Structure 1
């Protein structure tokens, strides 16, 4: 590739980055940073822990966005200088270094560009994720646990805090269901494309005849309810049951009736929380999950009215969207975007960014086409 080709690529990357800087509004991010730093330094900040966590979380996010934008800008400027030096000195080694850096930059800028596509009403919220084992017996329960680990590892890779509200263990292995939050700005907009039915094909480790088994698990992603949301839940609309938590033995949560199950009588929605030691803590967490489900139901009903369609509360995550094949070949494929990889082990270890980015682009294209 010639120096002129590299120069054109750098020019294109520079233009793309300027567009991203404009959409993400670097000046506003810097202003927000100043205001959040002032709020974070208030002596009474931690008098309200929920507010304090919100402030510190948003400050961390803003700092991260600013650092990423400035870092990308610095890299674009540096590679441009390196190209000039390589051209002046006719240095083949430096020219090869330019090519490597351009490839890396293109990937990083593309990832940042995807963030600009998150403009939905709740996209900037934290995410509440629910995973349920579907058809497939013990293999499905094991698959649900594999998906839980996958998403928690993804969050860990990005430095996002998580909190597991509920894990309902299956009798032989794996999970019947699990609910957790990802506490990071835009977690909902990012992970919402993961909603749907996931399918696993493998030689079952639970089948003594070594037969191939297909199993399913459902993933539901909801926006976490904010203080500005009005979700009124009258006391007489809910039934609260308490019971002893289930799970691996030896845990103190198993020794008292601390687990909470809340049934929303008008809709039939049932939520549980058992991972805290305190019944009050579990009830508060369960109410947050219920509020998130009711908020999503309200959003879907409003959207259905606009589209003239009858809403189906389960339809948003009831459609098969990804296959994980471990036998007779190795492949993970998204059935909507056609994106695929031959490395399932990496995917189950949390490397799902490429699938998420492809899903966000696919969703944006569908919205544009409609």
Structure 2
């Protein structure tokens, strides 16, 4: 009988084109390859349902890649396979590209109740520069359709893209607000291997300077606050009741099962990783839970992860819960680290959290606790 809860992540790696800033695993969309992959994914879902029969799935997140490239019938087949799990669903999210022929009405019929649209910007020159397939008008039309048929809509925006100004970033968030209850606002960070990073290094692309990007980030955050969106994580803002329940599992180190190529899982004290290779994934999936690699997380690393992820949340983390989970005295055992970065932290009701003005320094603060 299922007595533990977990989230379920499904990776759909197909894209019509690679955006210049993206470093997620993805491959070109091809009908035959897509069908073979979905066959393998369904097989892995069924195997995982047997393997994790003591878990009840309460959130599902279908990410990518571009899941909205999947035909509705294929998506229905994948979701039908999930019924092999014990389910008590509180949230089912799908990521989507505004340029795709979205059918939110059919999504709703399949039980999807939340969509995350990769808007990124509402500046047409910026969208063209970063290789997006949609323009501002297309994005707004997609948001409007989704808001009509789905109870929860989120928009992804990126601050610090080439050619943007703080005023344009604020205008982008103002443009999406009538349609969404959740906004993910990311400060552009480039992987050195991404096409945009290479273009910047070659002098072919110019990014806003750091001060301008931070100014834009803070102005957008203030615009969201003034419109009833509370920041609950460094890059995520939501109206009441609109937080991403699935993503909260990542930040709170709660169990999640990741299926599909390049997907990650966290169960107990072990992280699992599927191969970021379509051929290897499809050939290894017959064992029932993918061709996975596992890594057991030691105590010090687990404490570090708890601190690092907890500091991303506006509520921070509970010192008592850390002490109980790892049989430590956090304030005593990490006194030296706390002396080093404590001026950027605030302690309230037994919780330790970042001061809001220090949110963008979270990585540096968290590194102080790495041993």
Give me the TM-score of the superposition, normalised by structure 2. Answer: 0.25
Instruction: From the two aligned structures, give the one with the greater helix fraction.
Output: 1
Name which one, 1 or 2, has greater alpha-carbon Rg.
Answer: 1
